[in-house]
Amino acid sequence: MLSLRHWPVLFLFFTSFTSSLFNSVWAQSKLSIAPTVAPFSSYSDSQKQNYLLFKYGTGLTIGANINYHFTPVWSLTTGYWYQWGKVKGQYGDFFNFFRSQEEYMNIPLLLNMRPSSRKVSPYFSGGVILSKETGLYKSRMAAKTMLGAGVSYQLSPRLTVIAQPTLVLGSDRHEKEEYPSFPAKRQLSFQAQLSYHLFPVKSKL
Protein backbone atom coordinates (compact mmCIF):
# COMPACT_ATOMS: atom_id res chain seq x y z
CA MET A 1 0.00 0.00 0.00
CA LEU A 2 1.30 3.47 -0.90
CA SER A 3 2.32 5.66 2.01
CA LEU A 4 1.94 9.44 2.06
CA ARG A 5 5.56 10.00 1.00
CA HIS A 6 4.79 8.31 -2.34
CA TRP A 7 2.06 10.79 -3.31
CA PRO A 8 4.44 13.59 -4.51
CA VAL A 9 6.06 11.08 -6.87
CA LEU A 10 2.67 9.88 -8.07
CA PHE A 11 1.51 13.47 -8.60
CA LEU A 12 4.65 14.37 -10.62
CA PHE A 13 4.13 11.32 -12.82
CA PHE A 14 0.44 12.15 -13.26
CA THR A 15 1.08 15.81 -14.20
CA SER A 16 3.99 14.91 -16.51
CA PHE A 17 1.80 12.37 -18.26
CA THR A 18 -1.05 14.88 -18.57
CA SER A 19 1.15 17.70 -19.89
CA SER A 20 2.67 15.43 -22.53
CA LEU A 21 -0.82 14.82 -23.89
CA PHE A 22 -1.07 18.44 -25.01
CA ASN A 23 1.66 17.84 -27.60
CA SER A 24 -0.55 16.10 -30.18
CA VAL A 25 -3.80 16.89 -31.98
CA TRP A 26 -4.96 13.35 -31.24
CA ALA A 27 -4.55 14.00 -27.53
CA GLN A 28 -6.22 17.40 -27.65
CA SER A 29 -9.36 15.76 -29.03
CA LYS A 30 -9.58 13.88 -25.72
CA LEU A 31 -9.06 16.86 -23.41
CA SER A 32 -11.57 19.11 -21.68
CA ILE A 33 -11.26 21.94 -19.18
CA ALA A 34 -13.87 22.68 -16.53
CA PRO A 35 -14.39 25.58 -14.11
CA THR A 36 -15.64 24.05 -10.85
CA VAL A 37 -17.64 25.36 -7.89
CA ALA A 38 -18.76 23.41 -4.79
CA PRO A 39 -20.44 24.65 -1.60
CA PHE A 40 -19.57 22.31 1.28
CA SER A 41 -20.23 21.37 4.89
CA SER A 42 -17.63 19.60 7.04
CA TYR A 43 -17.47 18.01 10.47
CA SER A 44 -14.41 16.85 12.41
CA ASP A 45 -14.17 15.26 15.84
CA SER A 46 -11.70 13.70 18.23
CA GLN A 47 -12.37 11.68 21.40
CA LYS A 48 -10.30 12.77 24.41
CA GLN A 49 -10.84 11.12 27.78
CA ASN A 50 -14.58 11.44 28.53
CA TYR A 51 -15.58 14.25 26.20
CA LEU A 52 -15.76 14.94 22.50
CA LEU A 53 -13.84 17.66 20.69
CA PHE A 54 -15.39 18.86 17.46
CA LYS A 55 -15.46 21.54 14.79
CA TYR A 56 -18.07 22.28 12.15
CA GLY A 57 -17.50 24.30 8.98
CA THR A 58 -19.29 25.60 5.89
CA GLY A 59 -17.78 27.26 2.87
CA LEU A 60 -17.05 27.22 -0.84
CA THR A 61 -14.57 25.51 -3.16
CA ILE A 62 -13.69 27.05 -6.53
CA GLY A 63 -11.15 25.96 -9.13
CA ALA A 64 -10.51 24.42 -12.52
CA ASN A 65 -10.14 20.84 -13.77
CA ILE A 66 -8.28 19.31 -16.69
CA ASN A 67 -9.94 16.09 -17.87
CA TYR A 68 -8.38 13.47 -20.14
CA HIS A 69 -11.00 11.20 -21.77
CA PHE A 70 -9.07 8.07 -22.70
CA THR A 71 -12.30 6.24 -23.68
CA PRO A 72 -15.90 7.48 -24.12
CA VAL A 73 -16.65 6.03 -20.67
CA TRP A 74 -13.51 6.68 -18.61
CA SER A 75 -11.57 9.89 -17.87
CA LEU A 76 -8.86 11.20 -15.56
CA THR A 77 -9.01 14.54 -13.74
CA THR A 78 -6.43 16.80 -12.16
CA GLY A 79 -6.50 20.53 -11.47
CA TYR A 80 -6.42 23.09 -8.69
CA TRP A 81 -9.13 23.90 -6.10
CA TYR A 82 -9.10 26.72 -3.57
CA GLN A 83 -11.30 26.13 -0.53
CA TRP A 84 -12.43 28.67 2.04
CA GLY A 85 -14.74 28.15 4.99
CA LYS A 86 -15.96 29.45 8.34
CA VAL A 87 -15.46 27.11 11.30
CA LYS A 88 -16.80 26.89 14.85
CA GLY A 89 -16.11 24.22 17.43
CA GLN A 90 -14.96 23.16 20.87
CA TYR A 91 -11.64 21.98 22.30
CA GLY A 92 -9.56 21.93 25.48
CA ASP A 93 -10.09 20.73 29.03
CA PHE A 94 -12.48 23.58 29.79
CA PHE A 95 -14.70 23.10 26.72
CA ASN A 96 -13.41 26.23 24.99
CA PHE A 97 -15.53 27.36 22.05
CA PHE A 98 -13.90 29.02 19.07
CA ARG A 99 -14.69 30.54 15.69
CA SER A 100 -12.20 30.87 12.85
CA GLN A 101 -11.77 30.44 9.13
CA GLU A 102 -9.90 27.82 7.13
CA GLU A 103 -8.24 27.97 3.73
CA TYR A 104 -7.03 24.98 1.73
CA MET A 105 -5.10 24.32 -1.46
CA ASN A 106 -6.38 21.09 -3.09
CA ILE A 107 -5.07 19.07 -6.04
CA PRO A 108 -7.47 16.33 -7.23
CA LEU A 109 -6.33 13.04 -8.82
CA LEU A 110 -9.58 11.38 -9.90
CA LEU A 111 -10.92 8.59 -12.10
CA ASN A 112 -14.35 9.30 -13.61
CA MET A 113 -16.95 7.09 -15.30
CA ARG A 114 -19.74 8.25 -17.65
CA PRO A 115 -21.38 4.91 -18.56
CA SER A 116 -23.78 6.20 -21.23
CA SER A 117 -23.11 8.01 -24.52
CA ARG A 118 -26.51 9.71 -24.39
CA LYS A 119 -26.92 13.39 -23.59
CA VAL A 120 -27.95 12.61 -20.02
CA SER A 121 -25.87 10.03 -18.17
CA PRO A 122 -24.96 9.03 -14.61
CA TYR A 123 -21.51 10.28 -13.61
CA PHE A 124 -19.21 8.75 -10.98
CA SER A 125 -15.87 9.95 -9.59
CA GLY A 126 -13.36 8.54 -7.13
CA GLY A 127 -9.77 9.11 -6.15
CA VAL A 128 -7.44 11.16 -4.01
CA ILE A 129 -7.23 14.85 -3.13
CA LEU A 130 -3.82 16.22 -2.07
CA SER A 131 -4.79 18.88 0.46
CA LYS A 132 -2.84 21.48 2.42
CA GLU A 133 -4.28 24.01 4.86
CA THR A 134 -2.82 27.46 4.13
CA GLY A 135 -4.70 29.68 6.60
CA LEU A 136 -4.15 30.20 10.33
CA TYR A 137 -3.68 26.50 11.17
CA LYS A 138 -1.15 25.53 8.52
CA SER A 139 -0.89 21.81 7.88
CA ARG A 140 1.34 19.39 5.99
CA MET A 141 0.19 17.96 2.68
CA ALA A 142 -2.35 15.19 3.33
CA ALA A 143 -3.99 12.64 1.03
CA LYS A 144 -7.79 12.45 1.35
CA THR A 145 -10.27 10.13 -0.34
CA MET A 146 -13.06 11.55 -2.51
CA LEU A 147 -16.16 9.76 -3.82
CA GLY A 148 -18.88 11.31 -5.97
CA ALA A 149 -22.03 10.25 -7.85
CA GLY A 150 -24.25 12.51 -9.95
CA VAL A 151 -25.35 13.32 -13.48
CA SER A 152 -23.74 14.59 -16.68
CA TYR A 153 -25.73 16.52 -19.30
CA GLN A 154 -24.23 17.32 -22.71
CA LEU A 155 -25.47 20.76 -23.77
CA SER A 156 -23.61 20.75 -27.11
CA PRO A 157 -20.76 18.87 -28.82
CA ARG A 158 -18.33 21.03 -26.80
CA LEU A 159 -20.14 21.82 -23.53
CA THR A 160 -21.16 19.42 -20.75
CA VAL A 161 -22.63 20.22 -17.34
CA ILE A 162 -21.71 17.88 -14.48
CA ALA A 163 -23.42 17.99 -11.08
CA GLN A 164 -22.67 15.55 -8.27
CA PRO A 165 -22.72 15.32 -4.48
CA THR A 166 -19.26 14.35 -3.18
CA LEU A 167 -17.90 12.95 0.06
CA VAL A 168 -14.31 13.62 1.22
CA LEU A 169 -12.77 11.57 4.03
CA GLY A 170 -9.41 12.33 5.62
CA SER A 171 -7.55 14.29 8.27
CA ASP A 172 -5.27 17.32 8.57
CA ARG A 173 -1.68 16.98 9.82
CA HIS A 174 -0.88 20.25 11.60
CA GLU A 175 2.71 21.46 11.58
CA LYS A 176 2.57 22.63 15.21
CA GLU A 177 1.45 20.26 17.94
CA GLU A 178 -0.16 22.99 20.08
CA TYR A 179 -2.94 23.38 17.51
CA PRO A 180 -6.04 21.30 18.30
CA SER A 181 -6.12 17.98 16.44
CA PHE A 182 -9.34 16.69 14.84
CA PRO A 183 -8.33 13.56 12.92
CA ALA A 184 -11.77 12.28 11.91
CA LYS A 185 -12.86 14.70 9.17
CA ARG A 186 -15.85 14.29 6.85
CA GLN A 187 -16.84 16.78 4.19
CA LEU A 188 -20.00 16.72 2.09
CA SER A 189 -20.30 19.04 -0.92
CA PHE A 190 -22.31 19.60 -4.08
CA GLN A 191 -19.96 20.02 -7.04
CA ALA A 192 -20.93 21.66 -10.32
CA GLN A 193 -18.71 21.76 -13.42
CA LEU A 194 -19.04 23.26 -16.89
CA SER A 195 -16.76 21.16 -19.08
CA TYR A 196 -15.49 22.55 -22.39
CA HIS A 197 -14.15 19.95 -24.86
CA LEU A 198 -11.31 21.15 -27.06
CA PHE A 199 -12.79 19.12 -29.93
CA PRO A 200 -16.52 18.37 -30.45
CA VAL A 201 -17.95 15.22 -28.87
CA LYS A 202 -20.90 13.39 -30.44
CA SER A 203 -23.70 11.99 -28.30
CA LYS A 204 -26.85 9.93 -28.79
CA LEU A 205 -30.25 11.46 -28.11
Based on the number of CB atoms within 10 Å of its own CB, is 59 exposed (0-12), middle (13-18) or buried (19 or more)? buried
Q: Is residue 48 part of a domain?
A: yes
Confidence of residue 175 (pLDDT cuts 50, 70, 90): low
Domain holding 89, by residue range, is: 4-197
The secondary structure element, H or E, covering residue 10 is helix 7-20
Q: How many structural domains are present in the chain?
A: 1
Q: Is 100:84 a contact under the CB 8 Å cutoff?
A: no
Based on the number of CB atoms within 10 Å of its own CB, is 164 exposed (0-12), middle (13-18) or buried (19 or more)? buried
Name every residue whose Cβ is closer than 8 Å to that of residue 88 and which is 6 or more positions away in sequence.
Answer: 55, 56, 57, 97, 98, 99, 100
CA distances from 76 to 81, 124, 159, 172 (A): 16, 12, 17, 25
Q: Please determine, for residue 80, whether its predicted confidence score (pLDDT) is greater than 60.
A: yes
Q: Is residue 204 part of a domain?
A: no
Q: Is residue 190 part of a domain?
A: yes
Integer Cα distance of 4 and 119 in angstroms: 39
Q: Is residue 99 part of a domain?
A: yes
Q: Please determine, for residue 26, whether its predicted confidence score (pLDDT) is greater than 60.
A: no
The CATH number assigned to the domain holding 61 equals 2.40.160.20
Query: Quick one: pLDDT at residue 102?
Result: 81
Confidence of residue 54 (pLDDT cuts 50, 70, 90): confident
Confidence of residue 162 (pLDDT cuts 50, 70, 90): very high
Q: Is residue 145 part of a domain?
A: yes
Q: Is residue 202 part of a domain?
A: no
Q: Is 171:43 a contact under the CB 8 Å cutoff?
A: no
What is the DSSP code string of 126-150? EEEEEEEE-SSS-EE-EEEEEEEEE
Q: Is residue 203 part of a domain?
A: no
Which of 123-137, 174-188, 191-205 is modeled with the greatest confidence?
123-137
Q: Is residue 46 part of a domain?
A: yes
Query: Quick one: pLDDT at residue 25?
Result: 42
Span 129-156, pLDDT tens digits = 998 888 666 777 888 999 999 999 999 8
